[in-house]
Amino acid sequence: MTTLDLLAIAAHPDDVELTCGGTLLRAAGQGYKTGILDLTAGEMGTRGTPEIRAKEAALAAKILKVSWRGTLGVPDSDVQPSRQYKLALARIIRELRPRTVILPYWEARHPDHYHASALGYEGCFLAGLKALPVKGEPYRPFKILYCTSFEGMAPSFVVDITKQYETRRRAILAYRSQFRPAKSERKQRVYLAIDELDSRMDLLARRNGDLIGVKYGEPFLQKELLQIDDVVNLPVRSI
């Protein structure tokens, strides 16, 4: 049995790398066991195939030094917090027993992303119910965080990923089918947000880093208040 300190859950392969890959890498460097759960295999993507994306995801996981990566098997383009997949997710939560779970922000352009947020939260909650008809001892994560790769989320805090940024970028670009496609694959009539992400990820990471006075950062939101024990040694200069 593998138990994790930090588990990131997202709708598609490459979502985690784009939203919190630097934080996972930093956590691994701090000695924590990290993991990624992709809800779908990305089989509805305009580019690549599930087999290609699985190989890319394995390479990206290796670059980010995660201890575990898995796929839940939810249909791509139809992520829903249905009973079937909430139970499947609850079983994985009981097996991995992560202390902290990172979920997608609950507002997003892609329906799979905001449904993934609901599915992730409800699966984590159900995992703590003793009478739930799934294998494993009841367990519920201590902390749930939310992340996004786009502007619009007012963060509770930002993680400094300056030292991890270049490695995070290598993990993102490991998805060659998505971010380095052949010219013939770039000719489509449908707008693809991924065509902007290679250039935008640097801009957004710099903007979030600037909020805390560092070069690169990743933003997170939590619904509960932060507890501070030492007000004398708080980071980020005020004036």
Following CA atoms 152, 158, 159, 161 in sequence, which dihedral angle do they give, to the nearest 10 degrees?
A: 60
Decide if 19 contacts 64 (C-beta within 8 A): no
What average pLDDT does the segment 225-238 reach? Answer: 95
Residue 4, classed as helix, strand or coil, is coil
Q: Which amino acid is at 168?
A: R
**pLDDT at residue 189, rounded to an integer:** 47
Nearest to 217 by CA among 12, 16, 20: 20
> How would you classify the pairing of strands 6-10 and 34-38?
parallel
> Which residues make beta-bridge pairs with 158?
219
Nearby residues of 21 by Cβ (< 8 Å), 6 or more positions away: 60, 64, 164, 168, 171, 172
pLDDT at residue 38 above 50?
Answer: yes
The mean pLDDT value for 79-92 works out to 97
- Distance, in Å, from the CA atom of 148 to the CA atom of 151, rounded to the nearest integer, reads 8
Of the given ranges (19-23, 176-180, 189-193), which has the lowest mean pLDDT? 189-193
Tell me if residue 163 falls in helix, strand or coil: coil
Task: Return the SS3 of 135.
Answer: coil
Instruction: Tell me the CA distances in angstroms from 17 to 47, 169, 186, one per residue in order.
Output: 18, 8, 22
Under the banding of pLDDT at 50, 70 and 90, the label for residue 190 is very low
Distances 225 to 83, 91, 130, 156, 222 between C-alpha atoms, Å: 30, 29, 28, 9, 7
pTM of the model: 0.93
Confidence of residue 62 (pLDDT cuts 50, 70, 90): very high
| 103-128 confidence digits (pLDDT tens) | 999 998 899 999 999 999 999 999 99
What integer is the mean pLDDT of 175-201?
65
Radius of gyration over alpha carbons of the chain, in Å?
18
CB atoms < 10 A from the CB of 138, how many? 15
As a whole number of Å, the end-to-end CA separation of the chain is 49
Domains annotated for the chain, with CATH where assigned, are 6-221 (3.40.50.10320)
Q: Determine the number of helices (DSSP H) and then strands (DSSP E) in the chain.
A: 7, 7
Contact status, residue 112 vs residue 77, Cβ threshold 8 Å: yes
Higher pLDDT, 69 or 176: 69
